[in-house]
Structure 1
Amino acid sequence: MKKLLLGLSLMGTFALSNFTFAQKTENPKFVGNIEGIKEYSLTNGMRVLLIPDGSQSNMVVNIIYHVGSKDEGYGEKGMAHLLEHMLFKSTKNLGDIKKQLSDKGGAANGTTYYDRTNYYEIFPSNDENLKWAINMEADRMINATILQTDLDKEFSVVRNEFEIGENNPSGVLMEKVFSTAYMWHNYGNSTIGSKEDIERVKANTLRKFYEKYYQPDNATLIIAGKFDENNALKYIAENFSNLPKPTRELGGTYTVEPPQDGEKTVVLNRAGESKLVAAAYHTSAYADKDFAALAALSEILTGNPSGYLYKSLVETQKVSAIWAYSPESRDPGMMYFNFDVPKDKNLDVTEKLVKTELDKIATTNYTEEDLARAKSKLVKQIADTKNNTIGYAISLTEIVGAGNYKLAFLYRDNVEKLTLADIKNVAQKYFKSNNRTIGLFVPSANEMRVKPSEYLPSQIASLTSNYKGKDLEKEAAPFEASIANLKKNVTEGVLSNGMKYGLINKEVKGDKVMATFKFLLGNEKDLAGKNTIGDLTADLLKAGTKTKTKEQIQDKLDQLKSSIDTRISGQNLFISLSTYKNNYPEVMDILKDMLANSTFPQNELTKTISEYTTALEGQLKDPQALAQNELQRLAMPYPKESVFYTASLQEEIDNTRKVTRDQIVNFYENIMGANTGFGTVLGNLDPKIAASSLENTFGKWNAKSKYTEIKPTYFDTKKIDKNFLTPDKENAMALGTESFKMDQKSADYPALLLANEILGSGGFLSARLPMRLREKEGISYGVGSFLNVPVSNDVASWGFYALLNPTKRDAVESAVKDEVSKALKDGFTADEVTTNKKSYANIQKTMLGMDNTLINLVNKKLQYGVSLDEYDALNSKIANLKQEEVNAALRKYLTLDRLTSVYAGDFNKK
């Protein structure tokens, strides 16, 4: 990277008073190894964490800056988040960052929150990608261009992102509650910032913020997955060690929120159908030992089905749903409760009921059973996070922002050591009405106020400096991300009832086991008009069995660090399972019990119907939900009895309210079964044990209704542009689609797939549609295209989507159609074809390193007989495509003359 001579040539960009002379290249200094996380440091103050995992075929490079919305001053609200967007533009040395990310074919993102900003890239594991990612992050640390011309376009994209959030009632309410609860601390300000500040900030102001915080002494670099550690340290030395440590002292923030001295209330009046009650209490920083006890208390209060608040409010149908949230924050944070209120309930009455139940938190006599249940759930969550190395490296972002990565281990240790006294202590300490924000001033003598403990840097250093962690876990065996290797490690079989299965022998960190099953159900006659019944039946499979209550099922799964999820879509019942090697047989026994002995209690059905209808009521005026629903109804006008029929949102509400327990039981007993199904299990399991467990679970679970595939009907789409008004919604949604006939065996499929990549779905925001609408014109935060080509029928479609400010409706329509017209008229360039072939190949390599991709490939083979080799064959066909083949496919199947489009938003806004 930059030596002294080059650094002096950039005097106009960087204040020299902030720098010492550039150092010579130095190797990172090893600090220690905490449970597989190897820590290094550089003289310039930068920290490095390496998390090697040979069982992965991908790697992630994640850099975290200790700056977030907490650090913003007057007139700077939203600056940290806006700067995050700008750092994806370009640097002086590398140029267009997004294009290069697209060419590499990796997954990338940047995020901003209260205490930190991070940037990460996930790539297939190879030395070229490792070297490029480290070089790129070092370059944009100090050489981002931050041009006013780029900012002029990007601010409207960020504003559109702001507007999208404004459409979410629960999100806006949480923002208002936080801003009311905090008088002085910047946690009271939304991370996305003030719309006015976003619109008015200038590039030179943004640059000052960048130069202050984007420096090596304020950064932590994490590299995780499969990579060469020696090369990683070498590239870090070459790119980061010679960056000088600034002479400026950041100093940190010093605002301490005073104790709240009375209950506060904020009322939000917005358009929408949902009703909500929320409550927030000032609590602790993540570094505080209390955080673990508070996390457990949150589970004890809100967990479904055993939580105290859940039982008193959801089970009694006073509210339809409840959730809680506590940010992992550097300074004392909040515990926030959200209560969804059914449309027919009185909000004032519900608020009083909620407050009555919240007032019981401090005096409830919690039990050892409550504590054990909560600890099981938290330990499972911690293990699941830690054993997904790529996700773990990204999740550490919040912990690093909270002060130090070792705090994650301390939190785990604190969870494991929790006692009932700890739970009762935090319940009594924090959950006082005068510490709550739901405002009236109530005079009171000798008020006992809550003052959360402040954690100074020296205290966090003391907590973490000598922490050693637990013994290192056994490393998972490497697994090459290739079809050839997958084929070597797949075993296929058939159960006694005809169900097909696949076993992928792959070690996953922590001996994790994952499985996905798909069962094909019923026929046109037996499924007629039963879409909603099927949805509810799948959702209620965990509601209780002849041997276990819903609570006992959930408790056991939490103790086993496992999960089972079920859903139905059309003729398909999907079951996904996540567990660990030693627990696999027991979890399969739980699943068998659910499938063979479910009882569908009436009270659980009633609660679920209330939850469904409340959620649907919240979508009635939501632009995204409305646009998606209406587009499906326009483009696919099936009769009401069809399994493919899309009901209107209000119809779905009405249909849900009509479902009876008898209908659920009938569907369960007659439609559901495993005899026409298949599934894949991934993990390091003994094949005999795995197969025996599958036979035991599914071998005798057979459907009475004979399965006959219901083929979709082909409908010619028409040229339609239809508006749907959603008053007082800040964001709008545009969706469009057109139909054509094609299946994945078509000779044109590879060319059309690549054409869609170039037009709207490929790369990192570098396809034509996002480049035009987001990067150049700044009129849409999220825009792109999608292609749906099935395996077993020829009912295919192409479409586009765009999120937008309602005032930009005509501009978005014009830009989308103009880009499609240009592509059809002039075609794609040879360079576009070459670039996207390369990025597509890299993306497929990345995807092959993901466990879900391996499972899906085997399941596709089991269902359709599609050879695993087809994955490589399709990639090979795409790699050999010629420019004229791609353009010919686009013109053959796409035309604006059949494009059906819907636009949902408040288009009366000026």
Structure 2
Amino acid sequence: MVNTVKKAEGSPNPQKVSEVKGVSEFKLENGLRVLIAENHSAPVATLLVVYRVGSRNEAVGNTGSTHFLEHMLFKGTENHNAEKGNGIDDLLTQIGAYWNATTWFDRTSYYEVVPNDFLEMCVELEADRMRNLRLRQEDHDSEMSVVRNELERGENHPEEALEKELYAIAFREHPYHHPTIGWRSDVESVPMSRLRDFYNTFYWPNNATVIALGDFTTEHALGLINKHFGSIPTAPHAIPEVYTTEPPQEGERRFEVTRAGDMPRVWIGFHVPEATHDDNYPLAAIRHLLGSSFERSSRLYKRLIDTSMAAEVFARHDDLKDPGLMIVGATVNPGVDPVKVENELLDELDKLAREPVSDVDLSRIKSSNLKGTILAKADPSSLAFMLGEAESKADWHWLMNYDDRFDAVSKEDIMRTAKTYFVRSNRTIGYFIPREEDDDNSLDNESDLESELDSIETSGSAQNSTALYTATEVKEFLDIKSIPVSVEFKPQPASNYGEQVKKVVLSNGMTVLLMRNPGTESVGLAVNIKAGRYFSQHEPGSLSEIIGDLLPRGSQSYDKLKIAENLEEMGIPGALEFFVDNYRVGLGTHLVVSDLPHYLELLSDVMRNPLFDQDELDKTKIEWRARVVEAKMNTRSMAWNKLRQALYAEEHLFYDKDFDDQLKELEAVQTESLHATHKRLFSPKATILTLVGDIDLDKALKLVEKQFSDWKGEEPSAIILPDCPLPAKAQRIEIELPEKASVDIVMAHPCTVKRSADDFYAARIANAALGQDTITSRLGQVVRDKAGLTYGIYSTFADTAFGGAPWSVSLSANPKNVERALQLVDETLADYMAKGISKDDLAKESGRALGSFKVGLSSSLGIARVLTEFEFLGLGTTELDNISSHYIGLTKENVDAAMNKYFQPKKAVTVLSGTLAK
């Protein structure tokens, strides 16, 4: 039966097609498919537009066109563009949206996560760029080098090199042969006419699905989508179908990638059927059984990491629209023969065909899959992305039926599937072999292994003697038009987190925060313990990090395997992996509410009674050695390590030791020192535990008290950092690493800004306008958008908790473009410091800060993390209600004063790391 929904004025009636598990499908007259699901747990909306076009639709000569076109869709339409100050990036920045786009084999997706007041803005922007893109030659020319730098950054990583070669060799006829980003010569040479043809062929409503999830009514969201998309015509032609099929492989294929690198890798790929094939469910079960480095109960972990043969393992099931690949792989530890690791991988796969899976293992992975789905669906954004992937490879009903099909998998199905697909003639095996280098390379600096390096780019300031641009050219680059604030911010009702949060300090000094967020079937949990690097910095061997690594590897009541099996059954295999930062050891996870009692029991035992088993310590040392080997060939971590050595005294918290010294100290660590440090640092008085979700507050508190009330411990020591003087003058350091397609650059100096400072928010806005966002900030507009010299450029405060951490500007660039990029960074900084922030940028960045904070609270876990952080910093739970007041009163004078106080680029150290142009 087809239902008709009331139409928006001037648009045809959308038709309701079906509704399953809270998701409703509608179809517009022009063929656009619309999926809508309400979620009222947070005032946030997610909009996702999926086009059924990816690298699967490309051929030799235009590979990478889908991805290149994805970039071009941010360059503007006649209605919305940067020149008018109302381009998509301009508008979304002002409201604090989280937005991006991704390209894969079968689809291209564009998405926004925004405060729900701005859903219509997103709908209007997406409808506008579906058919009204300008596609100008000048935008193509500048963006080409940006896309090329993205390609070059990928070439720096062995995993990306292996993936590209594996698909290219496993697929000879089908277009999955081509990498999504394209072959370099195509990326560099594709003409605008080809991109325009691609756009006019595939970007039509009858080749797309619009997905809206969040805090709105279905009628409201459908009305907006119909209003803005309904008048777009259907494609005037049939959407081209991909008719090429890959013939069966007729024998094993092998390849090697040999280049400068860290450790060998072994990857094995097997052809598997398309996503809609019945065999994909037992193949997915096999993926669960094989596992990864983060699943300690999994077969590959036990076979290769537990035996110290591999540093990392993974199993990956690429279920695509057409037949794809099942891939298993490992990063081989130093001194281990890759051939032996290959044989172990193959034997584990063969074992699946020889021996039935145990009832216990099969039951555990089914429970893990089901609970993982419940947790993913609790977050509207996660569900939107899942629906988008389903639409690209099959349709959304495939996702709705997935868990039932997975639950029906039998032991016999798994054995049959393994026998069918894991055969010699169906496999392609690839090795990454690091090229031997001379031992006299002067790599005298080491890697920063901190988590912050996983999320920041790199950049620098040049001390050039030769001008690379004329004065007129520089002025043109810096002539950035102020972007008018074109978004109307409606007065928002004051939030009342302070009233909703229940704070309890147990008799032993442990702080517990509880908040109800009903309707999600889940709970977000966050823990912070004052036990980070600061508290063990004067003890040899990075003890806080080692303790964090070892906590989930065995406790008084549960050995490592039992911990892992329990977590996998809950659908949260990594939920006891602790982070360690400068001041805290902690974690954040979400879980199904019914699992909360048992999870708290596990958490308590792991935190309070770790074994620190000698065998596990020995394995950890092997893993750390492997990380160091990898870091020595990583351009970003090398740059940051050398930078920290140049900025800080050896006894300072933010100083990084030489690799050799780190390893010597690591080798000397004994279990006795771990027990002693754990006893000293891990204390209820140092701990904050937060629960937010579908809970009864009093019952949840009793669960916490049951597990933690008898814990005893001392008060943590106060945090007092020594002063960090600025460098006397600017300095430039170069690190030569062989065969790197992209150079990482970091410019930084110590910064005294603190989270508790009166001018913290002014400093945050000053930095945001300069470089928080690589698209809309001043640095991004000059170095990426106008000059096209980098894929990403950012300015960042590394750690503002207690001051002293680096403030940095960072980017990556082709070796030939390094000096040009550095000159523009210098000129942009000088111009910004001289003129200060514009009033328009002040309004824009204040709006961004408020909106992004709101979006960050879109899940129970997000709320739990923020509550825990604010409590740790001494800001209190009511600070969540006061955020807007900190930004509303900011003036240009406030921000400029903070800028001049905290930014000192003329005294910064600049580090370049990579294969530098001579």
- TM-score above 0.5: yes
Q: 2:670 aligns to what?
A: 660
Distance in 1 (alpha carbons) for counterparts of 2:54 and 2:535? 57
Distance 1:547 1:840, change over 3 A: closer
Are the aligned partners of 1:617 and 1:653 in contact in 2 as well (CA < 8 Å)?
no
Name 1:734's counterpart in structure 2. 745
1-structure distance, mates of 2:543, 2:386:
37
Are residues 1:298 and 2:284 paired?
no
Residue by residue over 1:171-216, the C-alpha shift from the partner in whole angstroms, topping out at 9 and shown as x without a partner, is 2112211211111111121101111111111112100000100001
Bigger mean CA deviation after superposition, 517-526 or 114-123: 517-526
Deviations 1:504-528 (A, max 9, x none): 121252x211111111239988652
Which residue of the other structure, out of 712, 716, 720, is the alignment partner of 1:702?
712
Match of 2:58 in 1: 72
Compute the displacement of 1:879 (Å): 2.4
Distance 1:250 1:907 in 2: 46
Change in CA separation of 1:648 and 1:377 when aligned onto 2, cut-off 3 Å:
farther
Measured after TM superposition, the shift of residue 907 of structure 1 is 0.2
3-state SS, counterpart of residue 795 of structure 1: coil
Question: Which residue identity is paired with 1:52?
Answer: E
Aligned to 1:183: 172
Helix, strand or coil at the partner of 2:309: coil
Which of residues 656, 674, 679 is equivalent to 2:684?
Answer: 674
Residue 535 of structure 2 contacts residue 681 of structure 2 at CA under 8 Å; is this kept in 1?
no
CA contact (8 A) 1:28 1:236 kept: no
CA 1:83/1:657 → structure 2, altered by over 3 Å: closer, same or farther?
farther
Match of 1:55 in 2: 41
Q: Deviations over 1:452-481 (max 9, x none)?
A: xxxxxxxxxxxxxxxxxxxxxxxxxxxx99
Correspondence for 2:507? 496
Consecutive unaligned residues of structure 1, counting only runs of 5 or more, are: 1-22, 441-479
Residue in 2 that maps onto 1:802: 811
Shift in Å, 1:853: 4.6
For residues 213 and 71 of structure 1, the distance between their equivalents in structure 2, rounded to whole angstroms, comes to 10
Aligned with residue 629 of structure 2, among 592, 611, 617: 617
* Distance verdict in 2 for CA 1:523–1:220, change over 3 Å: closer
Q: CA deviation at 1:230?
A: 1.9
CA distance in structure 2 between the aligned counterparts of 1:588 and 1:491, rounded to whole angstroms: 18
Indicate conservation of the 8 Å contact 2:534/2:582, yes or no.
Answer: no
1:91–1:140 contact (8 Å) kept in structure 2: yes
CA displacement at 1:848 relative to structure 2: 4.0
Structure 1 counterpart of 2:910 = 901
Per the TM alignment, residue 311 of structure 1 is displaced from its structure 2 partner at its CA by: 2.8
Equivalent pair of 1:281/1:336 in contact (CA under 8 Å): yes
Superposed displacement of residue 685, structure 1: 1.7
Structure 2 counterpart of 1:470? none
Q: Counterpart of 2:426?
A: 435
Superposed, 1:501-520 pairs within 5 Å as 501-509=512-520, 511-520=521-530
**Residue identity in the other structure for 1:87:** L
Q: Which residue of 2 aligns with 1:319?
A: 310
| In the alignment, structure 1 residue 85 sits paired with structure 2 residue 71 | yes
Deviation at 1:531, TM superposition (A): 5.2
After TM superposition, give the deviation of residue 32 of structure 1 in Å.
1.1
In structure 2, how many angstroms separate the alpha carbons of the residues matched to 1:619 and 1:257? 39
2:867 corresponds in structure 1 to: 858
2:541–2:666 Cα contact (<8 Å) kept: no
State the partner residue of 2:735.
Answer: 724
2:336 paired residue among 332, 335, 345: 345
1:261-340 → structure 2 map (5 Å cutoff): 261-302=250-291, 304-340=295-331
Is 1:558–2:568 an aligned residue pair? yes
Residues 115 and 855 of structure 2 are in contact (CA less than 8 Å); yes or no, is this contact kept in structure 1?
yes
Q: What is the deviation of 1:358?
A: 4.0
Aligned partner of 1:123: which letter?
V
Classify the secondary structure of the residue corresponding to 2:818: helix
Contact 1:320 1:607 in 2 (8 A): no
Sort the Cα spacing of 1:570 and 1:738 in 2 relative to 1 into closer, same or farther, 3 A: closer
Which shows bigger deviation, 85-94 or 890-899?
890-899
SS at match of 1:542: helix
Larger displacement relative to structure 2 (181-190 or 749-758): 749-758
Distance 2:296 2:39 in 1: 36
Listed one character per residue, the Cα deviations across residues 517-573 of structure 1 (whole Å, up to 9, x for unaligned) are 111239988652245232122222222233333222222222233433323334422
Distance 2:494 2:623 in 1: 43
Contact 2:368–2:570 at 8 Å: present in 1 too?
Answer: no
Deviation at 1:725, TM superposition (A): 1.1
Shift of 1:620: 0.6
Q: Give secondary structure in 2 for the equivalent of 1:437.
A: strand
TM-score by length of 1: 0.88
Question: Offset of 1:398 from its aligned partner?
Answer: 1.6
What residue is the counterpart of 2:214 in the other structure?
Answer: 225
Give 1:665's aligned amino acid: H
Q: Distance in 2 between matches of 1:659 and 1:537?
A: 11
Aligned with residue 882 of structure 1, among 891, 901, 912:
891
Superposition pairs of residues 203-218 of structure 1, within 5 angstroms: 203-218=192-207
Aligned to 2:467: none
Structure 1 residue 658: Cα displacement = 3.9
SS at match of 1:63: strand
The 2-side partners of 1:790 and 1:362 are apart by 54
Query: How far, CA to CA, are the matches of 1:93 and 1:411 in structure 2?
Result: 41
Q: Which residue of 1 aligns with 2:789?
A: 779
Corresponding residue SS for 2:257: coil
Of 692, 701, 715 in structure 1, the residue corresponding to residue 724 of structure 2 is 715
Alignment counterpart, residue 592 of structure 1, candidates 604, 611, 624: 604
Partners in 2 of 1:258 and 1:220 — Cα distance?
31
Partner of 2:550: 540
Query: Shift of residue 83 of structure 1?
Result: 0.2
Secondary structure in 2 aligned to 1:619? helix
Provide, for residues 696-754 of structure 1, a one-character-per-residue CA deviation record: whole Å limited to 9, x for no partner: 222233346x5212422222232222111111011111112222434344343332221
Counterparts of 1:545 and 1:885, CA distance in 2 = 51
- Residue 36, structure 1, aligned to residue 22, structure 2: yes
Aligned CA RMSD, in angstroms, stands at: 2.5
Over residues 40-73 of structure 1, what are the superposed CA-to-partner deviations in whole Å (9 max), with x where a residue is unaligned? 0012211000011011211011000000000002
The answer on whether the counterparts of 2:540 and 2:665 sit within 8 Å (CA) in structure 1 is no
Contact 1:743 1:790 in 2 (8 A): yes
What is the SS of the residue equivalent to 1:790?
A: coil
| Aligned-partner SS, 2:809 | strand
- Assess if the C-alpha contact under 8 Å between 2:530 and 2:681 holds in 1: no
* Alignment-mate amino acid for residue 345 of structure 1: V
Give the superposition deviation at 1:258. 1.0
2:415: which partner in 1? 424
**Is contact 2:44-2:113 (8 Å) kept?**
yes
1:328 to 1:831, Cα distance in 2 relative to 1, 3 A = same
Please give the alpha-carbon distance, in whole angstroms, between the structure 1 residues aligned to 2:817 and 2:502. Answer: 54
Using the alignment, how far apart are the partners of 1:523 and 1:65 within structure 2? 46
Contact residue 614 and residue 671 of structure 2 kept, 8 A = yes
- Other-structure match for 1:748: 759
Equivalent AA in structure 2 for residue 602 of structure 1:
Q
Q: Please say which of residues 28-37 and 238-247 is displaced more in the overlay.
A: 238-247
The verdict on how the C-alpha distance between 1:780 and 1:547 changes in structure 2, with shifts beyond 3 A counting, is: same
Partner of 1:693: 703
